[in-house]
Amino acid sequence: MDTQSTVTSKLGVQKIGKTVSNKLPKVKDANVNFRDRLNDVLFTEKHQLVNYQIATNEIINDDLRSLLISNRNKLQGIHSTMFEELFNLGEYQADMATPAQIKDIYDVFSGYKTQLPMNQ
């Protein structure tokens, strides 16, 4: 995934991402289109990953836990591939953070370390 690519929104905001591909429909109508199917697959994978994680945390049998972890890792790879495909088609974009915003967030989460039960 090329996270160095940037686009400018209609309002002039710089974003990490790519221009929306011509492969994706420009107008949303009542029909299920290519974009809808890709997003549905991604959404389904997200929920499956959560369920695999819960099952892995609560399973008693070690062999079954290993199988679940293996399946979850494969699903994570599929999920990452699907997200990257949507990113490359221009479906997902992210606002670019300024160095000051990054520092602010870093400071906030660094302060949370004191709340952790074990010293990192």
* Residue ranges per structural domain of the chain: 6-22+32-115
According to DSSP, residue 3 is labeled T
| pLDDT given for residue 56 in this prediction | 94
- pTM for the model stands at 0.69
Per-residue pLDDT of the chain (120 residues; tens, 9 = 90+): 677 778 877 777 778 877 777 777 777 778 888 888 888 999 999 999 999 999 999 999 999 999 999 999 999 999 999 988 888 888 888 888 888 999 999 999 888 888 877 765
DSSP of 41-84: HHHHHHHHHHHHHHHHHH---HHHHHHHHHHHHHHHHHHHHHHH
| pLDDT given for residue 16 in this prediction | 80
